Amino acid sequence: MQVIFAKAARVLAPFYVGSAPVVSYLLLGWTAPTWGLLALAVIFLASWPWLRAQWLTKIERPALRRQALQDAVTMSGVLFLRSFALDRPWAGLQDFVLGIIEKHNANYAQLRAAVAIGDEDKHGIAKVETTIEGWKERLRALSENVDAIVMVPVDPTGKDESGVLYEIIHTMSGHAEKTIYVMPPLAIWERHMTGTDLADRLPELWADTMRRLANMAPRLALPPYDPAGCFWRLRGEPWRFPFSDDGGREVLFKVLDHKRVAHAAFRAKYDPEGYRADEVRRMRERLTGGKPPPPGLDDRLL
């Protein structure tokens, strides 16, 4: 509810402020209050791009973070996966992903929140905290419930048992239809990684991740690195999209729309009246104890 109120206030604010001097003129004519309201409206509308950014940062995004964390395991949103080593030097990557989601929400009248696994830091994407022993279970639960996954498949650790490599295999083998992979452009990577151990190493890190992935899962593969970068996915055509706001919105729409169409087709075939949705959910929870269902559990069996 807080998120809806914040979004409505942001959308309607220019309308209310702009209409205030008009109403004042109709009621009072060209009096001092009307001139004062007109001056305030001009100042407000002229500075609206800056005020809108402040509203998003100070009010709307914190509300989205609270909602995302509250609904993390049951949400229909976006899961962001990456190496924790990217968080500090490239903090803007999370804001870039959030901006794409926000523009998608604005264009398609949806409400998609984003979460990531990690220590909550009050910045960027909301972090779902977990333990070293429980992060894989948390990953499986989140992956099962979100409608899209965005992942940066770069593993700087060099270890075969790394968390990033596990996440690559997990998404490619179990959630390929809803995962969007990020190939960072070389110029952007270097701008953020200058002065860190990751500078001047992206092609090397990408090739090393490819090699270790091929050793662990020979049927899975990353595409060769392209300095221009891109968004890409394993399923569907086209599979490659520019690394830009427009490219991100396009691939996000295709993934979410595919999810919507698949769900609608299932409902139309097996539940045309919509009666079984709650029944299936309750039966699934009884069978699994609230945990993600085992692979291959088909709702038609319930």
Parse the chain into domains and list their residue ranges. 73-270
Query: What pLDDT score does 298 carry?
Result: 44
Nearest to 81 by CA among 73, 93, 89, 70: 93
Half-sphere exposure of 199 (CA within 13 A, CB side): 9
Please give the Cα distance from 163 to 267 (Å, whole number). 36
Residue 133: per-residue pLDDT = 83
Q: Residue length, the chain?
A: 302
Give the integer Cα–Cα distance in Å for 217 and 234.
Answer: 15
Q: What is the pLDDT of residue 268?
A: 61
Helix boundaries (H) for 201-244: 202-216
Q: Which of 74, 93, 144, 84 is nearest to 117 (CA)?
A: 84
Number of H helices, E strands in the chain: 11, 7
pLDDT of residue 48: 80
Q: What is the pLDDT along the chain (302 residues), one digit of tens a residue?
A: 556 666 677 777 788 788 888 888 888 888 898 898 888 888 888 888 887 777 777 777 777 766 666 665 556 689 999 999 999 999 899 999 999 988 888 887 777 888 899 887 778 888 888 888 889 998 998 898 899 999 999 999 988 889 999 999 999 999 999 999 999 999 999 999 999 999 999 999 999 999 999 999 999 999 999 999 999 998 877 799 999 999 999 999 999 886 665 555 555 655 555 555 566 566 656 655 555 555 544 444 43
- Please identify which residue in the block is written with the tokens 């807080």: 2
| Contact by Cβ (8 Å): 114, 125 | yes
pTM exceeding the 0.85 threshold for the entire prediction: no
pLDDT at 231: 96
- Judge contact between 220 and 213, C-beta under 8 A: yes
Q: What is the pLDDT of residue 262?
A: 58
**Half-sphere exposure of 261 toward its Cβ, with a 13 Å CA cutoff?**
8
Burial of 146 (0-12, 13-18, 19+ CB in 10 A): buried
CB 295 within 8 A of CB 143: no
Give one word for 124, left, alpha or beta, with left for phi > 0 and alpha for psi -120 to 50.
left
